Amino acid sequence: MKLRIMIIASLFIALLILALSLPAQAAPAAQGIQYATNTPQANGNIMYVVLPNDTCIRIEYLYGISDVQLRQLNPKLDANCTLSIGQQLLLGIGASSNPTPTLGPSPTPLPPTVTPTPISGTTQICVSLFNDLNGDGLHETTEPMIPGGAISVTEKNAKYSKTLPTLAGTDPICFAPVPEGDYNISAAIPDNYNPTMALNTTLQVKAGDSAFIDFGAQSKDTAITQPENKTTTSPILGILGGLLLLAGLGLAWYGLRQRRPASKLKESGLLKR
């Protein structure tokens, strides 16, 4: 009885160690996110609030600013350009919308003029359908556009609706000018591609905004590369588990030999009559 318990315990420990030596699977990548610039502040500064998954390279690409300019405008950035959610970045400096008047001679009154009503609208809505080569759902500068697809931009109250085909290259598809409002934006991908993120989203734009949205897909012929975020264990555990498994099998064989009928042992000449 004790021998049977020892055999079962040895086999259980060996299988447990082998299971612990297997690496864990990496978690799936997060989805992409849309971006929109803010209108200039009263002092002319153009600020940007950092969103989840933002990187300096991405911000430089979306807003046409170089790494040198971004660091000159934001001297507090460290050498690795580390960003935090909610952090404000200065993207440009323009003229103040509230300049201090300079005193001088009183001007001669002029006839009243009619101020035109401002036309509401946005600068543009730009959409990228990029080839997500590594399947991480983030648009990198080395990932080009996918030709043969289509981008649709529709205002919910039917003030604007347009569909444009996607082209090869690195430039996004831009819709301009468009009126302010709430929009449904979607992408259609070619048949030989699989989406790596949601291909539709909603967006609210106001007069003076410029919006940028990314949609990603990957060719069916390209294997999706998962991020290198795997838990590895020492191969010693696997070797130790194998040795314990062999030891358990040896004990099992020995126990079976001990239980052979005495008659068979006598027949084989191993016991004296």
Q: Count the Cβ atoms, other than its own, within 10 Å of residue 10.
A: 19
107, pLDDT greater than 70: no
Say which residue, 41 or 212, is predicted with more confidence. Answer: 212
- Closest Cα partner for 211 from 43, 60, 63, 20? 63
Say which residue, 21 or 174, is predicted with more confidence. Answer: 174
What is residue 40's predicted lDDT score, i.e. its pLDDT? 72
25, pLDDT greater than 50: no
Please, which pLDDT band fits residue 76 given cuts at 50, 70 and 90?
Answer: confident
What is residue 148's predicted lDDT score, i.e. its pLDDT? 93
Say which residue, 251 or 139, is predicted with more confidence. Answer: 139
177: preceding bond cis by omega (within 30 degrees):
yes
- Closest Cα partner for 46 from 93, 97, 104? 93
Least confident of 47-61, 100-114, 134-148, 198-212: 100-114
What is residue 236's predicted lDDT score, i.e. its pLDDT? 79
Ranges of each domain in the chain: 41-96
**Rounded mean pLDDT of the chain?**
78
Please, which pLDDT band fits residue 33 given cuts at 50, 70 and 90?
Answer: very low
Rounded average pLDDT over 112-117: 54
Q: How far apart, in whole angstroms, are the C-alpha atoms of residue 51 and residue 214?
A: 14
108, pLDDT greater than 80: no
Model pLDDT for residues 205-263, shown as the tens digit of each residue: 888 888 999 999 999 887 544 455 555 556 777 787 778 878 777 777 777 776 665 55
84, pLDDT greater than 80: yes
Please, which pLDDT band fits residue 24 given cuts at 50, 70 and 90?
Answer: very low
Q: State the pTM of this model.
A: 0.41
273, pLDDT greater than 50: no
Model pLDDT for residues 148-207, shown as the tens digit of each residue: 999 999 999 988 999 999 999 999 999 988 999 999 999 999 999 999 999 999 999 888
Share of the chain above pLDDT 90, in %: 29
106, pLDDT greater than 80: no
Share of the chain above pLDDT 70, in %: 70
Least confident of 54-68, 78-92, 156-170, 218-232: 218-232
Beta bridge partners of 204: 182
Assign domain 41-96 to its CATH superfamily: LysM domain (3.10.350.10)
Q: How far apart, in whole angstroms, are the C-alpha atoms of residue 131 and residue 126?
A: 16
Only one residue has tokens 């007069």, namely 207
- Say if CB 127 and CB 213 are below 8 A apart: yes
What is residue 192's predicted lDDT score, i.e. its pLDDT? 93
